[in-house]
Amino acid sequence: MAQITVSFETTPNPQSMKFNFSAPIAEEMAEFNDAGNCRRSPLATKIFGFPWAAGIMIGHDFVTIT
């Protein structure tokens, strides 16, 4: 398995953080606004396990968490 590095950056929304991955993590973009609609994404389901997660956007090589 190849090593994947993660970097992070701020976004225009001060309540969001963007995490950039050095390898693809998803084939298509998806956005989730609550835990109830993320059953098709194991990653989003795990992130919504944290009490501070209110929204998640998953892209080809990034995740933004609000």
Please state, rounded to an integer, the average pLDDT across all residues of the chain. 94
Is pLDDT of 1 > 70? no
pTM attached to this predicted model: 0.89
Residue in this structure with the two tokens 């298509």, named with its chain if needed: 28
At 38, the pLDDT band (50, 70, 90 cuts) reads: confident
Which tops the pLDDT comparison, 30 or 38? 30
Check: CB of residue 45 under 8 Å from CB of residue 53.
Answer: no
At 40, the pLDDT band (50, 70, 90 cuts) reads: confident
Q: What is the C-alpha separation between 5 and 49, in angstroms, rounded?
A: 23
